[in-house]
Amino acid sequence: GAGVSQSPRYKVAKRGQDVALRCDPISGHVSLFWYQQALGQGPEFLTYFQNEAQLDKSGLPSDRFFAERPEGSVSTLKIQRTQQEDSAVYLCASSFHGALNSPLHFGNGTRLTVT
């Protein structure tokens, strides 16, 4: 597949559990973004990688959220001790480079439900 792939598509976690969400960007894309989209809202920025370097993590809502991209390709967003307010769709996007006229290609997201 040529697109951004995210797994799992759906995740149900009990409150307090840890979860890990995976993103496979388009091959060769330098920039990778994570966004959080609550129901009925637009996506909100979480963090940004350029290759393996995390250049901006200002949108991570708490220290329970952690993201990595160790080899500059696949990225994992980890949420520790999940809370109900973490329920949302987590979107990953990649682009060839970080410029805005290099289109962001979004995956279809992971829908996380915390019960």
Partner 1 sequence: QKEVEQDPGPLSVPEGAIVSLNCTYSNSAFQYFMWYRQYSRKGPELLMYTYSSGNKEDGRFTAQVDKSSKYISLFIRDSQPSDSATYLCAMSAKQAGTALIFGKGTTLSVSS
* Residue 42 or 70 having the CB closest to partner 1: 42
The backbone torsions φ and ψ at residue 56, rounded to the nearest 5 degrees and listed phi first, read -150, 120
Compose the 77-96 pattern: x for residues touching partner 1 by CB under 8 A, - for all others: --------------x-x---
Q: Is 4 in the site for partner 1 (CB under 8 A)?
A: yes
> What token pair was written down for 93?
């996007």
Q: Is 1 in the site for partner 1 (CB under 8 A)?
A: no
How many Å apart are CA 56 and CA 46, to the nearest integer?
A: 8
Give the one residue of 59, 68, 73, 74 binding partner 1; rule: CB under 8 A: 59
Contact between 114 and 82 under an 8 Å Cβ cutoff? The reply is: yes
